[in-house]
Structure 1
Amino acid sequence: MALSILWVVLTVFVINNDNGIVCEDVLGEITDDFDFDGIPGATHEFKVEIFSGAEECFYLKIASGAKLHVSFEVLTPHEIIDFYFKDPYNMIIESLLYKGNGGIEHDINVEGIYSICLDNTFTSYTSKIVYIYIVTFIPEEWAKYVNEIGELHGLAENYTELLSGVQLSITEMKRLQAQSRFNVVKDWYLIKSNNEYIKTWSIAQSIIIVATSLFTVFFVRRLFKTEAVTPTSKPRA
């Protein structure tokens, strides 16, 4: 089992790869690990293929008091999926059923391993590519971080409110950027799907036109064909 694990402050993200789950680059950028810059909190975004008849779950160990934001969108055109957010006891906290996109925000009150599940068991033949964006941060850790900076510079009171507001603004900005990426990637898959559709039907129509032309030529030649002799084997005048 391939696991991708990265600890960030009190948060860990684990990808369970028992069923051959496929994660890809997003818009040409490597997204195997969290972006960690020494500031409390973590973000992660990736694409994943959910095979037909399968359910894939992603596990996050989250500390008490943390805030969680999750957004998802099905990139395969005109497809839907079931989304579940479960607590450490595997009880469903929130669900979004038969959705092409959506998101949740949740305040974590109990520390533990939470799971985000994408369910495609209601589909028998079609796999689906889903784009996922996750943000977690702990307000208390932000306050502690700001206090430590303030002790170094003697400006704790001046920086606390400012940096807290900046963090919330950054989180909102990243969420909006993720939504923008949703639209870009989904449009790309739609264009690709339309291109395959047009190419397939163009080939089919070309074959029909060629076949019709050959049939027409054969029919006209048969229509004007004249036998050189009569039915009694005498030369035709």
Structure 2
Amino acid sequence: MPLRTVMGFAAFISNTAPSVPMGISEDSIGQVQRTSGIGHDRHVLATGNDPNGLQVGTSQDVRGQMNFPTKETGFYQLCLSNRLNHFGVVQVYLNFGVFYEGFDLQNSPDMERKKINDTLEAIEESTRKLQAHVFHMWRFYNFARMRKAADYFILQSNYNYVNWWSLAQSLVIVLSGVLQLYFLKRLFNVQPTTATNKPRC
């Protein structure tokens, strides 16, 4: 029966480090959640390399996915580059999944001698399909969580942006009103006339 494992976490990538290598597996999904700094470019360059250093996949989007079969054992790495977002830090949520094909625990000689009836074979096939569906449901659930977190951070950033600009505009409006009142008051200010201080024609 095939075995499946899923792992997810978030990583911060600064603009000073050219790439961040990480160990990866056969199925990798990445999602940029939030950015900070001057340039708010949400694109991140991600490349996957096999143990020999050959490139097996690449992605340069806000949301990227790399699927590739692993043919040899070793350290597979995912390099993330934040070269597009200058003067800032990017938070990326990563989700790794491993799918082992042909990993059968029932290949022993004792089990091969026994004949399993049709009912048990049907139950085993249904269980295998159910496990595959649950695995893909978990993947889509993690991907939906990544999108929800990214949308939340975008909404929070826009909310702060609108609040600060609204405050700045309110201050400008109040200041311009005070200045207009001051100049209008000076315009209609009449000097008192005395014997020594008479208005000129």
Query: Shared fold by TM > 0.5?
Result: yes
Residue 220 of structure 1 deviates from its aligned partner by: 0.8
Give the residue type in structure 2 aligned to 1:108.
Answer: T
Work out which structure has the larger RCO, using CA pairs closer than 8 Å and 6 or more positions apart in sequence: 2
Structure 1: stretches of 5+ with no match in the other structure = 1-38, 63-67
- Please tell me whether Structure 1 or Structure 2 has the larger radius of gyration of its CA atoms: 2
Tell me the SS of whatever aligns to 1:102.
strand
**Does structure 1 residue 212 correspond to structure 2 residue 176?**
yes
* Residue among 189, 196, 201 paired with 1:233: 196
**Does structure 1 residue 223 correspond to structure 2 residue 181?**
no
Mapped partners of 1:89, 1:159: distance in 2: 42
Aligned to 1:69: 27
TM-score of the two chains, using structure 2 as the length reference: 0.80
Aligned to 1:31: none
Task: Judge conservation of contact 2:59–2:66 (CA < 8 Å) in 1.
Answer: no
Alignment deviations for residues 51-100 of structure 1 (CA, whole Å, 9 cap, x no partner): 1132212114x6xxxxx211111122751010111011222111113x11
C-alpha root-mean-square deviation of aligned residues, in Å?
A: 2.8
**Does structure 1 residue 88 correspond to structure 2 residue 46?**
no
Aligned to 1:125: 87
Q: How many residues align?
A: 186
Give the residue type in structure 2 aligned to 1:220.
Answer: L
Mapped partners of 1:101, 1:46: distance in 2: 15
How many percent identity over aligned positions?
21
Tell me the SS of whatever aligns to 1:140.
coil
**Does structure 1 residue 191 correspond to structure 2 residue 149?**
no
Tell me the SS of whatever aligns to 2:85.
coil
TM-score of the two chains, using structure 1 as the length reference: 0.69
Mapped partners of 2:123, 2:78: distance in 1: 35
Residue 40 of structure 1 deviates from its aligned partner by: 3.9
Tell me the SS of whatever aligns to 2:189.
coil
Aligned to 1:168: 132
Tell me the SS of whatever aligns to 2:75.
strand
